[in-house]
């Protein structure tokens, strides 16, 4: 969901806005904000043709700063699509930096309220249309009115399903990535508390860029000591979460081989039989 296209960089492969094959059992998608916005605007246009008043309500809500931004709403529309699909066994969202992610994850609450108001308005307009159908022909026929209401109710249902998935710890977990520095720790702590408001469970904290123990570099040893102090702070603040460490690598974390190495550090070597595997291990 990060508009910076970091997945393409991570996999060293051009990834588009549709599922792109990476390797067996692995596909990736980068949500293109422009394409997502075009698709979302087209959807709104189609609904407004059979849903008089939608544009008026949107303007009113924009003025009141109540409605989501069109670009963020478009991204959330794509987010919903992949969150509720049955096409894949596991869907992993590589989210953008904290502020953008919290905004995205708060959308079910915002969109539910927004669509609820549209449904209420649609029903009011439907009642008026039936009462004044002879003098207000632009209201459309009953079939169009029913389709508009059904579309809105289907959207509301999808949002409710997404909220249920996000708040179910058996189906959804959030992995917080931090580096052993105070600013990152405090930001992660704030983010975790914000996620709790939306009933999203953070089950693991992964501490990245840990320096090796042995080094002839005095600067490196000093940084290592500081990191150890911050690790103690992390253990105290996130005592309810699984903690894992990823060392600072000799090269950038990109390309399948390097990403597989990181996965092995976190989860162990992939199994070749049907035995169960362990989750992220505590340091």
Spatial contact of 1 and 75, defined as CB atoms under 8 Å apart: yes
pLDDT of residue 95: 81
CA angle 21, 19, 150 (to 5 degrees): 155
In a domain, 272, yes or no: no
71/14 same-domain check: yes
More confident: 225 or 117? 225
Containing domain of residue 201, as a range? 174-267
Among the ranges given (46-60, 117-131, 181-195, 232-246), the one the predictor scored with the smallest mean pLDDT:
46-60
pLDDT of residue 104: 73
Tell which of 130, 146, 166 closes a domain.
166
Is 146 tagged catalytic?
no
Residue 282 tokens, joined: 């505590």
Spatial contact of 52 and 125, defined as CB atoms under 8 Å apart: yes
Strand partners, 23: 26
pLDDT of residue 143: 54
Write the burial class of residue 178 (CB in 10 Å: 0-12 exposed, 13-18 middle, 19+ buried).
buried
203/153 same-domain check: no
pLDDT tens-digit readout, 48-102: 555 555 554 455 444 433 444 566 666 777 778 888 888 999 999 888 767 667 7
Which of 2, 9, 71, 203 is labelled catalytic?
2
25/162 same-domain check: yes
Mean pLDDT of 157-166: 83
pLDDT of residue 80: 81
In a domain, 139, yes or no: yes
On average, the pLDDT of the chain sits at 78
More confident: 220 or 56? 220
C-alpha to C-alpha distances, 178 to 2, 13, 45, 56, nearest whole angstrom: 17, 26, 42, 44
More confident: 133 or 34? 34
Give the separation between CA 214 and CA 200, rounded to whole angstroms: 39
234/139 same-domain check: no
Provide the pairing of β-strand 242-247 with 174-178: unpaired
In a domain, 278, yes or no: no
CATH for 227: 3.40.50.300
190/125 same-domain check: no
The pTM for the full model equals 0.73
87/133 same-domain check: yes
Spatial contact of 30 and 8, defined as CB atoms under 8 Å apart: yes
Residue 215 pLDDT > 50: yes
pLDDT of residue 126: 65
Tell which of 166, 186, 216 closes a domain.
166
pLDDT of residue 130: 61
Residue whose C-alpha is closest to residue 76's, from 155, 19, 22, 153:
155
Among the ranges given (2-6, 42-46, 66-70, 189-193), the one the predictor scored with the smallest mean pLDDT:
66-70
28/101 same-domain check: yes
109/34 same-domain check: yes
235/133 same-domain check: no
**Residue found by looking up tokens 């309220």 in the block:** 113
Give the separation between CA 125 and CA 226, rounded to whole angstroms: 64
156/188 same-domain check: no
More confident: 272 or 127? 127
In a domain, 282, yes or no: no
132/89 same-domain check: yes
Report the domain count for the chain.
2
In a domain, 144, yes or no: yes
Residue 35 pLDDT > 50: yes
Residue whose C-alpha is closest to residue 122's, from 30, 54, 28:
54
In a domain, 280, yes or no: no
pLDDT of residue 151: 75
Give the separation between CA 236 and CA 78, rounded to whole angstroms: 37
Residue whose C-alpha is closest to residue 248's, from 179, 187, 184:
179
Tell which of 131, 166, 201 closes a domain.
166
277 pLDDT tier (thresholds 50, 70, 90): very low
Mean pLDDT of 153-167: 82
| One-character DSSP codes across the chain | --TT-HHHHHHTS---SS-EEEETTEEE----HHHHHHHHHHHHHHHHHHSTTHHHHHHHHHHTT-SPPHHHHHHHHHHHHHHS-SS-S-------SHHHHHHHHTHHHHHHHHHHHHHHHHHHHHHHHHHSTTT-GGG--HHHHHHHHHHHHHHHHHHHHHHHHHT-TTT--EEEEE-SSHHHHHHHHHHHHHHHHTT--EEEEEEEEEPPS--S-HHHHHHHHHHHHHHHHHHHHTTTSEEEEEEPPSS-S-SHHHHHHHHHHHH-SPPSSS-----SPP-
In a domain, 275, yes or no: no
112/179 same-domain check: no
């Amino acid at each position: 969901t990060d508009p910076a296209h970091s997945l393409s960089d991570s996999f060293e492969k051009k990834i588009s806005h549709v599922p792109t094959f990476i390797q067996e059992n692995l596909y990736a998608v980068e949500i293109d904000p422009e394409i997502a916005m075009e698709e979302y605007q087209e959807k709104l246009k189609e609904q407004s043709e059979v849903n008089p008043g939608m544009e008026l309500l949107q303007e009113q809500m924009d003025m009141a700063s109540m409605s989501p931004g069109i670009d963020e709403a478009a991204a959330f529309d794509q987010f919903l699509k992949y969150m509720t699909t049955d096409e894949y066994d596991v869907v992993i969202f590589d989210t953008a930096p904290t502020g953008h992610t919290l905004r995205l994850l708060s959308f079910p609450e915002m969109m539910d309220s927004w669509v609820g108001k549209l449904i209420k308005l649609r029903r009011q307009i439907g009642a008026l249309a039936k009462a004044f159908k002879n003098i207000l022909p632009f209201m459309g026929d009953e079939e169009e009115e029913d389709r508009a209401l059904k579309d809105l109710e289907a959207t509301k249902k999808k949002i409710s399903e997404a909220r249920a998935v996000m708040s179910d710890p058996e189906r959804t977990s959030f992995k917080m990535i931090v580096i052993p520095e105070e600013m990152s720790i405090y930001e992660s702590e704030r983010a975790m508390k914000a996620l709790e408001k939306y009933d999203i469970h953070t089950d693991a904290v992964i501490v990245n860029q840990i320096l090796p123990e042995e080094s002839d570099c005095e600067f490196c040893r000093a940084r290592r000591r500081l990191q150890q102090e911050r690790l103690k702070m992390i253990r105290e603040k996130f005592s309810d979460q699984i903690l894992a460490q990823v060392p600072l690598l000799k090269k950038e974390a990109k390309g399948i081989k390097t990403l597989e190495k990181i996965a092995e550090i976190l989860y162990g070597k992939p199994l070749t039989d049907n035995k169960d595997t362990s989750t992220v291990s505590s340091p």
